[in-house]
Structure 1
Amino acid sequence: MNPKLLATTTAGLLCLAGGLAACGSDPSSSGSGAAGADGVGVFLSTSANSYEQAQAAGVKKAAQDLGAGDVQVFDASFDSTAQIGQVQDAVTSGRFKSFVIEPVDGAAIAGPLARAAAAGIEVVCVTSACGPDATKIDLQVEGQGGVVASDYGQVAEAMAGHAVEACEGVDPCRVFFLNGDSTFPSDRAAKDSFAGVMEKAPSNVEFVGTQDGKYDTVTGRSVMQSELQRNPDLDVLVSFADQQTLGAAQAIDAASKSEQVKIISFGGSEQAVAAVKNGAWLGSMLTLPFSIGETGATIAIQLAQGKTPDETVVDASTLAPVDGAYLIKDNAADFTAQWTS
């Protein structure tokens, strides 16, 4: 799905059981105006990790800067049914002019979001697309105001290209892809895109396989331990999430193969940035949750205020301050991460 998947929480299920009151703003919720119909609803897949918290902070910053009402954060605990209920209750409450939503399931939430838009609420989807095609960064929901998201197929293609570059001068060069979770449409697209690049790679590149790391450090370590037993001469690891990369790196270190295996990750967390800066990892594709939340909220709030945003469809990778959203040691010196894995 994406690097935000760090931990689950029961908050979303408690919120659904308790209705809108239980779904209320978290302790850090804030706004520049009194609670009322000009509020901003923030619907997160979970709020139990720093990625999500950074997204919410970005929304609050935009609300403050633009003079919007209170920001209220809803936590779905990775439960699509819970998120649908939260959106429906929020529409009924009449307290919001804009929604910023990170969808648990972009296809499932499309109907409720269309009804929110029909009720006069500006809807902007962030991090992942809303609608039937998880890889398509556009306005797929009727009445949707904007989107700030990543095309995870394109991210995986770019990572595969960097792996090919890392293989220059190595023959054979064995590459392993540690995917996130293939039950997610976005991650299936990533897996297919990565394999497609590997099929067309130069003859020295040998794609030895892929497994899921489940966005989990322990799972990443276990998968990597097994892969190193199967392919002790592995040259490049490409991992789709920093959390699982951390575990895989532990396995590589334990096998005394840190000098042998080049690591490319996705996330741009504090740990990834530090590893790139000190040369332990070759590179990291970046995602910037604070910037994503701030940009998405700016679009939604400006639309609700009758203003025209500079743009309403934003590829999240373009928010990164480095070329191609790919951090390497040569361009990492001045970069500061927006989240921790």
Structure 2
Amino acid sequence: MKKNRTKLLAIGIAAASILAFSACASSGSDSGSSADSSGGAGEPIKIGYFIPGTNNSYVGTNVTAAEETAQKLGVDLEVVSANWDAATQTNQFDTALARKTYNAWLVAAVAPEQACGSIKDAMAAGIKVFVTNQGLCGDDTYTEGTLGFVGGQTLALYDGWFSKIAEDNPDGGKIALLTGPNLNYNTNNALAAFKDDIESDSKFDVVSNQQSDYTTATAFDVAQATLQANPDLKIYAANYAEMTKGIVEAVEAAGLTGKVKVYDFGGNEWATGAVADGTVALSLPMLPYTEVQKSVEELVDAWNGKEIPQVLDLSKELTFTGAPYLTKDNVSEFTAEYQ
């Protein structure tokens, strides 16, 4: 069996100009399997795993899953980090395409709209593309022409999360939201659901709706300012656990523990502990290891001519009582996949 290779690459901006983007219009589907997915003439698969960054616990777990799964399957995989820069990732795509570095791409985009043209160029050149974490080209999940999609932050899941928050707070009140970066479909899905389920409800007074960089430190600063301006805040929600931690620290520093209900979308080890002790009211956990493990497995299966689903919704992998929502009543049934 071929020896596995895993590398962490940060491919610089190519010196030569590469082909311009093609249009990003595409349609999606949630069922069936992809056609023309197998590799050519027994050619061994070489996967380029394009990832936004590697500097938080979620994406770090993604990388671990990619490397371990590739080793288990005996395939070559290289991790290509964009350091959270959309332009860098675009150049990584175009350089890899021009050099024919990989014959299969696993893509977690920094900016899904901007990535669309490069992805379509790669597919037109015969590269097999599998999408993970968030959709591309205006699609919430599957994009036509790719092999498939695995993710757990769809619009439907965010809609359910905010509906649950509204249900838990029938009297409404002042509410604040902190999400990830702009250009990110996970952020877009959260904001769209928040608008439909919270902003449209007259019981709620939205006093803060800000985007951040997923870090605890930045979340603390944002939350501290929000709480100083709104000491009567009732609800604070964040769509990543490391940001939720920053919010909890700010609530504690303001002496408002027990007065502000905190909601988490992420469910890492810290968040599940916070749910258990009542610091966080509810969490919808994410599965970063399963996300990439399943993505690599399905990509390799498709390469080998096996039929795979177009969409794997990771919330269906949550099997604890009352899934997908963790509360004090069921948190003991769940083990977090990342710190």
Q: Counterparts of 2:183 and 2:49 in 1: how far apart (Å)?
A: 25
Q: Find the counterpart in structure 2 of residue 301 from structure 1.
A: 300
**2:42 corresponds to 1:16:** no
Whether the 8 Å CA contact 2:109–2:115 is kept in 1: the answer is yes
Looking at structure 2, the residues matched to 208 and 95 of structure 1 have their Cα atoms a distance apart, in angstroms, of 48
Matches within 5 A, 1:159-238: 159-168=161-170, 171=171, 173-182=173-182, 184=184, 186-201=186-201, 204-238=203-237
CA shift, 1:172, in A, is: 5.5
Give deviations 1:116-136, integer Å, cap 9, x for gaps: 323333211111112134xx1
Q: Match of 1:41, SS?
A: strand
Q: CA deviation at 1:93?
A: 4.5
Cα distance in 2 between the residues matched to 1:208 and 1:88: 42
Q: 1:319 to 1:156 in 2, by over 3 A?
A: same
CA drift at 1:186: 4.1
Residue 261 of structure 1: aligned partner: 260
Q: Does 1:325 align with 2:324?
A: yes
Partners of 2:166 and 2:172 within 8 A in 1: no
Task: Summarize the Cα distance change of 1:139–1:282 in structure 2 as closer, same or farther, 3 Å threshold.
Answer: same
Question: Where does 1:238-317 land on structure 2 (aligned, <5 Å)?
Answer: 238-309=237-308, 311-317=309-315
Kept in 1: contact 2:9–2:78 (CA 8 A): no
Partner of 1:107: 113
What do the CA deviations read for 1:244-293 (whole angstroms, capped 9, x no partner)? Answer: 22121111111221111111011112211111122211111211111110
TM-score by length of 2: 0.80
CA-to-aligned-CA distance 1:277-334 (integer Å, 9 cap, x gap): 222111112111111101111111111111112x121223323334443222222113
Once residues 334 and 186 of structure 1 are traced to their aligned partners in structure 2, the CA distance between those partners, rounded to angstroms, is 26
Give the Cα separation in 1 of the matches to 2:272 and 2:210: 24
Counterpart Cα distance in 1 of 2:260 and 2:105: 44
Equivalent residue for 1:23?
none
- Given the superposition, is the C-alpha separation of residues 118 and 205 from structure 1 closer, same or farther in structure 2, using an over 3 Å criterion? closer
The normalised TM-score by structure 1 is: 0.79
1:48 alignment counterpart: 55
* 1:108 match: secondary structure: helix
| 1:180/1:241 contact within 8 Å kept | yes
**Identity percentage over the alignment?**
26
Mind listing any 5+ residue stretches in structure 2 that lack a counterpart?
1-7, 16-42
Specify the alignment match of 1:137 in structure 2: 141
Alpha carbons of structure 1 residues 180 and 38: separation in structure 2 relative to 1, 3 Å: closer
Q: What is the aligned partner in structure 1 of residue 22 from structure 2?
A: none
Aligned residues: 304
SS in 1 for 2:210: strand
The answer to whether 1:74 aligns with 2:80 is: yes
Question: Which runs of 5 or more residues in structure 1 are unaligned?
Answer: 1-9, 20-35
Amino acid paired to 1:47: T
Instruction: State the 1:338 CA deviation.
Output: 1.7
**1:150-179 deviations in Å (ceiling 9; x for gaps):** 4453343223222212214xx453322223
The AA in structure 2 aligned to 1:298 is E
Q: Tell which deviates more after alignment, 191-200 or 298-307.
A: 191-200
Structure 1 residues 295 and 257: alpha-carbon distance in aligned structure 2, compared to 1, 3 A threshold: same
Distance in 1 (CA, whole Å) between partners of 2:88 and 2:131 is: 17
